[in-house]
Structure 1
Amino acid sequence: MKALDDLARSGAQVSVRIDDLDRGSAVLTGDDFVTLPVAGLGVVPLLIEVAAQIETGALDGLEIVDRNIIDRVENGGVWQHLKAPALPVVDLAVLAAAAGDGTAANALITRVGLPAVRARIEDLGLARSALLDRFRDNRGPDDAPHVALGTARELAQLFAALVNSEVVSAGVSAQVAEWLSLNHDLSLVASATGLDPFAHFNDRHGLLFINKTGRADGVRCEAGVLAGPRAGIAYALTVCFDDLSIAHRLRAHDAFRTLGVELMEYVF
């Protein structure tokens, strides 16, 4: 709390929520009801809609999507560096979840449609969350100011529901959790876990972990589930700050890492 309070006193907006999975009660809350930009975390409801459409047969997971007919994102991601000009839907979901690939996410948005994702968000009861737009390298005056919005409370509860097989169906929950378990970004809260960023699905020390991060100018956020031999928790932390220098950015990152250390002590 001291690290988060110090960050808030420096002028940052901080929203945090930690829930105990076994007790179903909140361990830590701080402005967890405030809606803030969450950048790439907006991929999670998109992945849920993709998995749900595949389960019902409305979408073929092996359907090929051509990269040339979608809006590409040059800032980050992997697909832009691959020679393959087209990929199946399920591979795009892996890229969006594991590598934060904006081009792959845009391909999924193009295929399932923003209205369907927004309807899914409403159906999930996420009253303060939204996927507003596709991913863009630059946002102009006619574009939505952020790709996605959310609250720490709803994000933590969504991740808890995923691991408890309560999102749409057991099959959809398992599929989305599997995609998220491939996430390579373990640099924020997850940096305290000691897990291999590229291979942490079956950790030999018995640590269960899935997460998704979001990054934009002045925005850092992460939500996930961390479970060890003593306890399991669902967590979400969003920090919006003045990204004026590397020092400002590192101050925000340090708060995430401090939280990660505390969470590891809680579950072990």
Structure 2
Amino acid sequence: MSSHTDWSILAVDADSGETLIESTPDLVLPTASVGKLFLLHHLAELLDADPTLGQRMLRRDSVEPVADSGLWQHLDAAELSVNDCARLVGAVSDNLATNVLLDLVGLAPVQEVAKRLAPGGSMLYDAVRDVRTPEDPPMLSTGCAADWAAYFRTPHPTVLSWLAPATDLSMVSSALGLDPLAHTDPGADLRVWSKTGTDDGVRAEVGLLQTGGRRAAYAVICRFDGEVLPVLARMRDHGTQLIDALRAD
């Protein structure tokens, strides 16, 4: 049986806006955990207004347990600060920390942020669920490359600080050759701040890449029904294209 893929891709020079890579950038596709960025951005704006909120302690048993991505479910700590929950979401896409933060701030305000930031229709629909029933939204989030490339031209600096240690470098960022567990040196020539999304038939990476004194805001989103390895190979190729474009004379 032949496989099928849909792509939404856009990469631009973050300063000039020059298009570096483009393919159906307005196509809205499932983006899995990428939509958690709307939660992080909303939280960053709340912290701008009240920095003390970051020290508020949150209990993980305030929400139902949820599995898959994340570390908090494996830790002894029963409570963490708002700041640390956000760091877990940025670094390892922590599902439990995501739901605890959503329980704190509410989904509706996060969706209002999405409407403001993403004119192309990117949206976070729900908290993370182990099982989705017919009564639940059918997926966690959707998005298009145009929205996310635009966001990462002028991202919130606090959101970037949470994304800096992101450990999933399996997609576009696999071309960079970075240590997934140690790539936050502010003096390094090559840096990336990214958020990925993974689900059955979905791979997505959005972010900001910096090298050679230049920056690219990028988003590569794929929905597919075949093997994942060709999808990851193409995403890696786009990472190589971005490095080459930024380092070109």
TM-score under structure 1 normalisation? Answer: 0.87
Q: Name 1:223's counterpart in structure 2.
A: 206
Aligned CA distance change for structure 1 residues 111 and 31 (closer, same or farther; 3 Å): same
- Give 2:6's aligned residue: 13
Question: Match for 2:196 among 194, 213, 217?
Answer: 213
Aligned position for 1:168: none
The CA distance in 1 between the partners of 2:231 and 2:118, in whole Å, is 30
Alignment partner of 1:259 is 2:242 = no
Q: Is the 8 A contact 1:226 1:267 kept in 2?
A: no
Alpha-carbon distance in 1 for matches of 2:236, 2:121: 26
Which residue matches 1:105? 98
* Residue identity opposite 1:14 in structure 2: W
- Structure 2 length normalisation: TM-score? 0.94
What amino acid does structure 1 have at the position aligned with 2:204?
Answer: C
Counterpart residue number, 2:59: 66
Aligned equivalent of 2:69, options 76, 94, 114: 76
Measured in 2, the distance between the counterparts of 1:59 and 1:49 equals: 15
Q: Mark the runs of 5 or more structure 2 residues left unpaired by the alignment.
A: none
- Most deviating of 230-239 and 210-219: 230-239
User: 1:190 is matched with which residue: 173, 198, 204?
Assistant: 173
Q: Percent identity?
A: 34
Counterpart of 1:33 in structure 2 is 26
* Alignment RMSD (CA, Å): 1.7
Q: CA deviation at 1:58?
A: 8.5
Per the TM alignment, residue 25 of structure 1 is displaced from its structure 2 partner at its CA by: 2.2
Superposed counterparts of 1:92-171, under 5 Å: 92-162=85-155
- Asked if structure 1 preserves the Cα contact closer than 8 Å seen for 2:20 and 2:245, the reply is no
Tell which deviates more after alignment, 64-73 or 185-194.
64-73
Instruction: Indicate the SS of the match to 1:197.
Output: coil
Greater Cα offset, 198-207 or 88-97: 198-207
Q: What is the SS of the residue equivalent to 2:154?
A: helix
2: CA distance, partners of 1:207 / 1:129: 28
Question: Which digits, 9 at most, give the CA deviation of each residue in 1:194-246, with x for residues without a partner?
Answer: 11111211165411321110001110000111121163211101110115xxx
1:232 to 199, 209, 215: 215
Distance (whole Å) between structure 2 residues aligned to residue 18 and residue 109 of structure 1: 30
State the Cα distance separating 1:123 from its structure 2 match.
2.5
The Cα shift of 1:22 comes to 3.0
Pair 1:205–1:62, CA change in 2 (3 A)? closer
Contact 1:192–1:260 (CA under 8 A) maintained in structure 2? yes
Distance (whole Å) between structure 1 residues aligned to residue 173 and residue 217 of structure 2: 13
Q: Tell me if the contact between 1:65 and 1:86 (Cα under 8 Å) persists in the aligned partners.
A: yes
Read off the aligned partner of 1:249 and give its amino acid letter: V
- CA distance in structure 1 between the partners assigned to 2:120 and 2:105 by the alignment: 21
- On the 8 A contact 2:31/2:198 being kept in 1, the answer is yes
Cα distance in 2, alignment partners of residues 90 and 58 from structure 1: 10
Residue identity matched to 1:88: S
Q: Residues 230 and 182 of structure 1: is their aligned pair in 2 closer, same or farther, counting only changes over 3 Å?
A: closer
Distance 2:234 2:47 in 1: 38
* Count of aligned positions: 246
| Corresponding residue SS for 1:235 | strand
* Corresponding position of 1:250: 229
